[in-house]
Structure 1
Amino acid sequence: MLITSRDTGRWVLPKGWPEAKELLCEAAAREAGEEAGLRGTVSHHEAGRYFYAKALASGEEVPCEVLVFPLRVDKIADRWKEKRSRIRKWVSPAEAARMVNEPDLGQIIAYFCADPHQFS
């Protein structure tokens, strides 16, 4: 599943920052719930990482590293925290890899989908 970013509307995966002493994979699962209404079991093994330029309110761009953790989706909510500010869409892995703006993220999606069981 891809979601739109709130600022530019580009297609992305749910992502965010860990809170308190939260493990990075747990933060990924929480963000999937908040941003896309997804619940399930998150892998403790990252599928990959990529960088993108995050635009700050000041207009300045800073590089951000994103670690991607697969989530086996068990529940899809009809209502969730950011429903009004995002669109979510189920697409094939090949389509998802083409839809994202970041080439490295597209490669991670393709790599993951070639053998998703390696992250179980």
Structure 2
Amino acid sequence: MTGEQVKRTARSETRQVAALPWRLENGRRRILMITSRETRRWVIPKGGRMVGLTDAEAAAQEALEEAGVKGQVHDQSIGVFRYLKRLKDDSERRCVVSVYPLEVLIQLGAWPEAHQRERRWMTFAEAAEAVHEPDLAALIRDFDATPLAD
């Protein structure tokens, strides 16, 4: 790709942030997956960047709104994935999403989008299999293989 092609590609992608909500269960990590509102596919909480918040803080806010969880978000992204977002007018927008791990400490019984989504704790293998984006599946598998910090 030429420099100009890279600039055009970068400009045409919408930047988003996502949380990778996880917890320890019987000594093994599990990930909290949610369904998307429109297609009901399994995804992780994600959304646009937010003025006044770091990307990691915005990812944590998405996790609260979409999945009803709070916790300790890591300030470093573990990578990015790309997907095509279908808009209401049936057009598509390319999105690039930075992913921030969030260790879940609190799971709420009621949260802003509870009536719009399903949430489910899965093994990392189940989650990687459930998502449609190959880059996201790879990020999930790679994070699962990363040793826990002390």
Q: What TM-score results when the alignment is normalised by the length of structure 2?
A: 0.76
Deviation per CA, 1:8-67, whole angstroms, max 9, x where unpaired? 000000001122121110000000000000100100111110110011111110100011
Q: Could you tell which deviates more after superposition, 19-28 or 32-41? A: 19-28
Corresponding position of 1:55? 86
Letter aligned with residue 143 of structure 2:
F
From the two aligned structures, give the one with the greater helix fraction: 1
Structure 2 unaligned regions, length at least 5: 1-31
Corresponding position of 2:54? 23
Letter aligned with residue 84 of structure 2:
A
Q: Distance in 2 between matches of 1:11 and 1:48?
A: 19
**What SS is found at the alignment partner of 1:46?**
coil
Deviation per CA, 1:91-115, whole angstroms, max 9, x where unpaired? 0001100000111100000000101
Corresponding position of 1:107? 138
Q: What TM-score results when the alignment is normalised by the length of structure 1?
A: 0.95
Q: Distance in 1 between matches of 2:62 and 2:148?
A: 22
Matched, 1:43 2:105: no
From the two aligned structures, give the one with the greater strand fraction: 2
Matched, 1:34 2:65: yes
Percent of aligned positions that are identical: 44
Q: Distance in 2 between matches of 1:117 and 1:31?
A: 24
Aligned length, in residue pairs: 119
Structure 1 unaligned regions, length at least 5: none
